[in-house]
Amino acid sequence: MAAIVQAAHQQGWREHLGVQVSAVISNKSNAPGLTWLKTHPEFSGIQTDVLEHTQFDSREAFDQALIKRIDLHAPHLLVLAGFMRILTPAFVRHYTGRLINIHPSLLPAFKGLHTHQRAIDAGCKFAGATVHQVTPELDDGQILAQAAVPVLANDTAEDLAARVLTQEHLIYPAAVAEFFKFQEVVRQAN
């Protein structure tokens, strides 16, 4: 999230793309992204909100309440950044074509959790990260960007995760910017 906010500011997305990060919504009041925003007053214009998932009886009830909160901001794009919950099909359908995520593997390999250790255990020579559109299927959807890093002989899952995270911070903001550049091309073509 911080990499995207910083890229939007540094690259002038408002001026060049006509978009900005307007809100950060979390299901946890102590989410690192919310803490980061509090310590960076230069981004005080970004609204924050917390909707604790533990306050709901079901995943469906939480997702419906989350839709209502998100829709107050009328987003052109929802960017999942550290949101570690499986979303219901109804939520995903509501934002079809406007919902993206980043996953710490070279999808379609290693969907789900523990991706770095699984890549090491499988003897992979490369691992990486994938930005993709979100579909009702876990870690599926059109691939928008990928970055690869070598898996080194003595890597631990933590070592590999750190190298992958560096690439995530590069490709995710770039994929968001490309999404809006593509939308502008489509708009002009119509």
Q: Which residues are marked as active site?
A: 103
Q: Are 146 and 131 in contact (CB under 8 A)?
A: yes
Q: Which residues contact 153 (CB under 8 A, 6 or more apart)?
A: none
Buried b (16+ CB within 10 A) or exposed e, 94-121: bbeeebbbbbbbbbebbeeeebbbbbbe
Q: Using CA atoms, how far apart are residues 4 and 10, in angstroms rounded to an integer?
A: 10
Q: Using CA atoms, how far apart are residues 59 and 21, in angstroms rounded to an integer?
A: 26
Q: Are 130 and 145 in contact (CB under 8 A)?
A: yes
Q: Cα 47 vs. chain centroid, distance in angstroms? A: 17
End-to-end CA distance of the chain: 32
The DSSP code for 42 is G
